[in-house]
Amino acid sequence: MNSSPAGQKAAGYARDCATSQTGDYFQLSSLMCWDAVVLCAVNTGAIPTKLDITATQFSNFVQMTDPLVADPIAMRRVPQGSFLAFIENSGGSPKLIHAMMAVGQGMAAGNKNACVGIGGPVGSDLLTPT
């Protein structure tokens, strides 16, 4: 799958913020993880306006029927700029517990990644496949 130019731009922005810790790094680091992903898309024009997202209201970005990313090989096929949702489904009610942005080559950028056992508790990190 190829990513769109808008997705590539958003992914580059997210990657650059995570790796250089300049630009909007501190702004992104202060946000909820899903708000940081949304802001990356807004700031690069990938989406026209900020859309609200919460742990229980996330259908603007992900549906429960979207494909799962089960392993590093599948992650390498995720288009740049894609919203990556970490969903907990307890008691039949899905809850968004974390979000990141796919930045290409199986990597993802995200904020406060320690909540899913990877990266740091604060700040934006670039995560590479294992």
For the chain (130 residues), the mean pLDDT of every run of 10, in chain order, is 80 88 82 92 90 88 90 92 92 91 92 83 69
Question: What pLDDT is recorded for position 129?
Answer: 63
25 C-beta neighbours (distance < 10 Å), count = 17
Question: What pLDDT is recorded for position 1?
Answer: 40
* Positive or negative: CA dihedral 97, 67, 74, 25: negative
Distance CA 69, CA 72 (A): 8
Q: What SS3 state is found at 93?
A: strand
Q: In the chain, what are the helix, strand and coil shares in percent, each to the nearest 5?
A: 30, 20, 45
Question: What pLDDT is recorded for position 118?
Answer: 79
Distance CA 96, CA 12 (A): 24
Q: What SS3 state is found at 21?
A: coil
> pTM of the full predicted structure?
0.88
Question: What pLDDT is recorded for position 130?
Answer: 59
